[in-house]
Structure 1
């Protein structure tokens, strides 16, 4: 998934500013995601990419870069 598309989904789901979304940004500390927002984000990314994100893997997705690497390694 292209960074811009992923960024747009993150901005829409978490309500943060686009310039806050960098590969190093953490979902909780930098972007303000709580547990509910994280679940919503995972669902939005799954729908947009057609990739299932295992619940066990969600805990390891702490930064935007983590999400990008996961999606790129699991794309259909």
Structure 2
């Protein structure tokens, strides 16, 4: 019997961000609007990318709201 195990993961990278009005509902930290790029990798080789905008907390990093381009 042969068993193959493949590693699939997802990386999120903040391309740029700017301050936004409001506070985080979880920790009370400040908020910022960020352009985020998500890369899904299969055995360390990226094969799918997605870009989107999100309102994130500058202190805890929680995604408070997301928007598709």
Fold conserved between structures, TM > 0.5? no
Larger helix share, 1 or 2 = 1
Q: Please state which band the TM-score falls in when normalised by the shorter chain.
A: under 0.3
Identify the structure with bigger relative contact order (alpha carbons < 8 Å, sequence gap 6+). Answer: 1
| TM-score between both structures, scaled by the size of structure 2 | 0.20
